[in-house]
């Protein structure tokens, strides 16, 4: 596209690209924007180095004139969009890129790759947070994901309300609290379960979490309390009929005097199994496979479309795709969240304007993300992650109660194009 646009002399036309989802994953009632902070850093660093240019030349992908243009490529445009952690609905313009066509079109795959992955994880995580009913959740999904995606998943889950991650790189890079327990391999390494527990307590103290289901759970509980004492921090259950098992483990711990010892469960959990444990004496959850795969919705389904461009006179022209079932709405959008008198969201109002119109009434949803190719600092790094986490918690408070039902349903609020 870039090569052909350069030949036709249209690659410098000012354009507006928009990221949106035509629908939410099946049955979901809201989506969660995630990945923005790390996307902005990737865009700032997006370059074509000698290795890439050489490959493009050797494989005759584009003309030499285009290669020269790519050698100097740096995004210098403007990006605005929904704050990371914000909720979105069908048609929400979650990200808007203002740039010449050539600069903007090159970012499509990068933008969609990040936002579709991270928003899918955050959307699933938010449902799990709801199901947990205030009990903490730890992200433990790295072994079910590609190594860089694992770090991104931990980041997205934390923004959506998870308390910690087992991925140390996510802790180092993004400032996410880290945690972990021993695996069955550690117990099997030792001559006995007692030897394993003694080694762990000697290293980490009695406040550690002991994995008690390598052999017999109730014998493991007895051994754990004998080794660590009644101040044992927690026990972890990774198998079994959890509602029944958790109740019996709680009774056993209490009978042994370990009344403050917590119970954490980590057995292939998703939002539905977490909800099923709500009446059980579970203190925390560790979630893996279901989280990192979006709990059945591994992508947010977002698309990147050209919605406006300038003509040769400098006038903005709205443009839109008209394909059956995939039609888009042209023009620059100004989205606001409409609320009722008590502050509960009732609609996603998306105002279609010529150029960049005045902001209508309602809670503004677009914020500056990048100006002149430079990311707005507040969205970056560990501080940006914490800001996104706080904003997500506030945005969730705005939703009607029906939004938090786990069964399939329509979006929690309607989308209105004005």
d(CA 198, CA 227): 6
pLDDT score recorded for residue 181: 87
Domain presence at residue 171: no
Q: Indicate whether 253 and 302 sit together in one domain.
A: no
pLDDT score recorded for residue 358: 60
Domain CATH for 109: 3.20.140.10
Last residue within a domain, chosen from 239, 259, 282: 282
pLDDT score recorded for residue 359: 64
pLDDT score recorded for residue 368: 98
pLDDT score recorded for residue 327: 82
The set of residues, in sequence order, having a beta carbon less than 8 Å from that of 169 and lying 6+ positions away, is 150, 151
Model-level pTM greater than 0.75?
yes
Domain presence at residue 398: yes
Q: Indicate whether 271 and 308 sit together in one domain.
A: no
pLDDT score recorded for residue 322: 87
Q: Indicate whether 413 and 301 sit together in one domain.
A: yes
pLDDT score recorded for residue 361: 78
Whose CA is closest to 165, among 148, 147, 141, 188?
A: 141
Q: Indicate whether 336 and 383 sit together in one domain.
A: yes
∠ at Cα 98 (95, 104), nearest 5°?
85
Domain presence at residue 186: yes
Mean pLDDT of the chain: 95
Q: Indicate whether 308 and 360 sit together in one domain.
A: yes
Q: Indicate whether 112 and 200 sit together in one domain.
A: no
pLDDT score recorded for residue 62: 96
- Total domain count for the chain? 2
3-class SS of residue 309 = strand
Residue-number span of the structural domain to which 247 is assigned: 181-282
For the chain, which ranges sit under pLDDT 50?
none
């Amino acid at each position: 596209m870039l090569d052909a646009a350069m030949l036709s002399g249209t690659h410098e036309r000012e354009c507006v690209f928009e990221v949106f989802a035509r629908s939410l994953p099946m049955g979901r009632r809201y989506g969660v924007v995630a990945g923005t902070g790390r996307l902005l850093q990737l865009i700032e660093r997006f370059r074509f180095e000698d290795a890439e240019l050489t490959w493009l030349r050797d494989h005759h992908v584009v003309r030499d004139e285009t290669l020269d243009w790519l050698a100097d490529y740096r995004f210098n445009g403007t990006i605005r969009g929904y704050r990371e952690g914000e909720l979105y609905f069908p048609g929400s313009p979650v990200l808007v890129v203002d740039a010449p066509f050539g600069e903007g079109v090159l970012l499509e795959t990068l933008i969609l790759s990040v936002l579709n992955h991270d928003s899918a994880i955050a959307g699933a995580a938010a449902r799990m947070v709801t199901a947990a009913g205030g009990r903490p959740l730890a992200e433990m999904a790295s072994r079910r994901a590609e190594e860089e995606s694992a770090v991104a998943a931990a980041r997205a889950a934390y923004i959506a309300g998870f308390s910690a991650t087992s991925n140390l790189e996510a802790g180092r890079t993004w400032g996410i609290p880290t945690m972990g327990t021993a695996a069955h391999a550690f117990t099997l390494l030792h001559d006995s379960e007692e030897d394993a527990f003694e080694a762990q307590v000697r290293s980490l103290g009695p406040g550690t979490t002991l994995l008690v289901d390598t052999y017999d759970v109730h014998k493991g509980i007895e051994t754990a309390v004998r080794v660590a004492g009644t101040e044992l921090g927690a026990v972890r259950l990774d198998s079994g009929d959890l509602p029944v098992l958790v109740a019996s483990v709680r009774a056993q711990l209490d009978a042994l005097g370990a009344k403050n010892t917590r119970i954490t469960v980590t057995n292939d959990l998703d939002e539905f199994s977490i909800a099923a444990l709500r009446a059980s004496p579970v203190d925390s959850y560790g979630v893996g496979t279901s989280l990192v795969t979006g709990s059945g919705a591994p992508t947010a389904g977002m698309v990147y479309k050209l919605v406006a461009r300038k003509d040769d006179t400098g006038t903005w022209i709205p443009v839109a795709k008209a394909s059956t079932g995939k039609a888009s709405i042209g023009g620059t959008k100004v989205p606001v969240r409409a609320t009722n008198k008590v502050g509960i969201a009732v609609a996603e109002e998306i105002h279609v304007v010529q150029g960049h119109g005045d902001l209508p009434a309602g809670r503004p949803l677009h914020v500056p993300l990048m100006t002149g190719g430079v990311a707005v600092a507040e969205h970056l790094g560990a501080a940006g992650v914490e800001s996104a986490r706080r904003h997500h918690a506030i945005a969730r408070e705005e939703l009607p109660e029906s939004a938090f039902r786990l069964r399939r349903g329509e979006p929690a609020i309607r989308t209105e194009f004005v």
